[in-house]
Amino acid sequence: MSGGVDSSVTAALLKQQGYDVTGVYMKNWSQDLPGMVCPWKQDYRDAKRVAVELDIPFKMYDFETEYRQKVVDYMIAEYKAGRTPNPDIMCNQEVKFKLFLEAALEDGADLIATGHYARTKDGQLLTAANEEKDQTYFLYRVTEDALKHSLMPIGDFATKVMVRAKAAELGLATAEKKDSQGICFVGKVGIKDFLLHELGEQPHGAIIDQHSTTLGEHDGALFYTIGQRHGLSVGGGLPFYVVGKDMGKNEVYVTTDLQDKNLWHRNLNLSSLHWINEAPETGKSYQVRTRYRASLVECKVSLNGDTATLELAEDIRAITPGQSAVLYDGNRVVGGGIVA
């Protein structure tokens, strides 16, 4: 129970359905950052308050050390390498559906439940009834065995309004609590501010356009991501878009040409593959999502050992190394990999 409305309703529904429910708050991050107090204490209190309302046992699991190693350090290392990682995906893989699951089973539980907008069935991961809130993109690296031990009842709700209405009907303290924003573990602090806090000021370097003209100076290549338009502080007139960067030379490359070949891709190379149930079939059509809430695009998959190539039915803009591409077969998540 995170202290939010989704996990609160999850606990209430499971109790209504006759499950023997224990509420657990995961303490993953408690560090305050410049300009922001970490909200973990308030979230903990909110979760505990709902547990009291539901008359269920409540406890806290402290994964802060492991979280730092498995999620935060991974994220920082990826940015330093010039890639753009997704820490929410790593959190689900390493913490929620691994550390938490293992700890819960050792604690005597038969199953874990979360407030994710997704559905599970016989070890398969299925999309949520609420397409707008569907979170399967962040869950594609969860294992089949973990899914067999997981419940996600919120996935059956068609809208967030329905979830809040259910919380209000049950009189839960979190019924009107706002959704959390920002990085999964530090709340409202932006990623640039967080990286500056962790790594300090970065060496400045050249911003170079498609004509090899130096336009200005960036304040750290690791802060820029492919397709980025804002925050470049160069020139007037047509907007510039980031199309690449060289971490060795400490250069950021931009273009004003929206048709620049570096902005669009018809083929994707993936590494760090993870298939939930079985590997995709060569030649079969699947759908791929290359960022959260991006439109699904038809594709075919070629496997080559521990890498894969996706042949897309149409060009996709601003493919970003380090991000995930997630494959779907209808409403079933096949798995995916990291964009190379």
Given strand 205-208, what is the order of strands in its sheet? Answer: 214-218, 205-208, 251-255, 241-246
* 299 has catalytic annotation: no
Q: Encoding tokens for residue 209?
A: 């356009």
Among 12, 26, 72, 91, the active-site one is: 91
Contact 241, 209 (CB under 8 A): no
Q: Which residues on adjacent β-strands are paired with residue 307?
A: 304
Number of residues assigned to the chain: 340
Find the angle CA(119)-CA(136)-CA(292) to the nearest 5 degrees: 150
- Single out the residue of 128, 95, 137 nearest to residue 112, CA to CA: 95
Which CB contacts under 8 angstroms, 24+ apart, belong to 162-166? 163/5, 163/6, 163/9, 164/5, 166/9, 166/12, 166/13
- Single out the residue of 259, 255, 269, 276 nearest to residue 309, CA to CA: 269
Amino acid at 288: V
* 38 has catalytic annotation: no
Amino acid at 167: A
Contact 175, 168 (CB under 8 A): yes
C-alpha span between 99 and 93 (Å, rounded): 9
Q: Encoding tokens for residue 114?
A: 């979360």
Among 154, 184, 195, 288, the active-site one is: 184
Q: Encoding tokens for residue 92?
A: 């689900």
Find the angle CA(322)-CA(328)-CA(333) to the nearest 5 degrees: 85
Q: Which residues are catalytic?
A: 91, 184
